[in-house]
């Protein structure tokens, strides 16, 4: 009898996620990820935070105000954290903002969610990739090598990039865009009615769409283009 059960037990053990943890956290509307880990965010009826991977126990999670913070509990004092074997899956009834920094890779799917104001930010090599955004107002910002990618639609989009940051939002179709780029920052946006763009110190802005009302200001090597 034991010989029959042994293969089944081995199969179950292999199928179970290594280091899977469920965290009892709720009440948040934004997610802020730091350090070299992977986070996926989606909208659902209940709050859920699940962490899988060999480094799951190393991940610190906490809710402060209305933001869920996710980070490496053993971040070195000098240099950057190693790439962690940890994947964090987050679900919440509503998501109003995401942020990624220190090499974190965050993806968020907002499909089907009610969205009034939404913000996405990335800095210090972090990456934030947002899909399915259908919002009234969106703000996006990237700095210090951070990258924000966002797709969907909105009424008004405010975008800024600096110090090598990159905002790619040409698949976020909005009525109006207010964009700024400086110090090597790069912004790509989409405006169907109007846009206001300001680029300086090597910043670059490209605005797609059929916007007829345009205000632009470029200085000190800044560049603004339309397609």
Domains 18-99 and 110-227 are alike in CATH topology: yes
pLDDT digits (tens, 9 = 90+) for 170-213: 999 999 999 999 999 999 999 999 999 999 999 999 999 999 99
* pLDDT tens readout for residues 102-131: 999 999 999 988 899 999 999 999 999 999
Identify the bridge partners of residue 25 per DSSP, sorted by sequence position: none
Annotated domain spans of the chain: 18-99, 110-227
> What CATH class has 110-227?
mainly beta
Q: Residue with structure tokens 């919002």? A: 135
The model's pTM is 0.89
Give the integer Cα–Cα distance in Å for 15 and 141. 40
Domain 18-99 classification at class level: mainly beta
Q: Check: CB of residue 41 under 8 Å from CB of residue 98.
A: yes
């Amino acid at each position: 009898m034991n010989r029959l059960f042994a293969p089944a037990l081995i199969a179950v053990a292999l199928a179970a996620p290594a280091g899977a943890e469920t965290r009892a956290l709720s009440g948040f509307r934004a997610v802020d990820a730091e350090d070299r880990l992977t986070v996926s965010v989606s909208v659902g009826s209940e709050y859920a935070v699940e962490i899988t991977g060999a480094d799951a126990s190393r991940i610190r999670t906490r809710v402060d105000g209305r933001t869920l913070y996710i980070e490496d509990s053993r971040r070195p004092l000098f240099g950057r954290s190693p790439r962690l074997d940890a994947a964090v899956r987050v679900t919440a009834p509503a998501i109003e903002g995401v942020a990624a920094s220190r090499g974190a890779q965050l993806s968020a799917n907002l499909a089907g969610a009610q969205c009034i104001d939404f913000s996405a930010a990335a800095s210090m090599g972090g990456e934030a990739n947002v899909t399915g955004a259908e919002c009234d107002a969106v703000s996006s910002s990237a700095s210090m090598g951070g990258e924000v990618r966002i797709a969907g639609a909105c009424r008004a989009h405010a975008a800024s990039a600096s110090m090598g940051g990159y905002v790619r939002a040409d698949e976020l179709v909005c009525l109006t865009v207010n964009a700024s780029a400086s110090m090597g920052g790069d912004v790509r946006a989409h405006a169907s009615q109007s846009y206001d763009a300001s680029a300086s110190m090597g910043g670059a802005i490209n605005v797609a769409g059929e916007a007829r009302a345009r205000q632009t200001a470029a200085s000190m090597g800044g560049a603004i283009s339309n397609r």
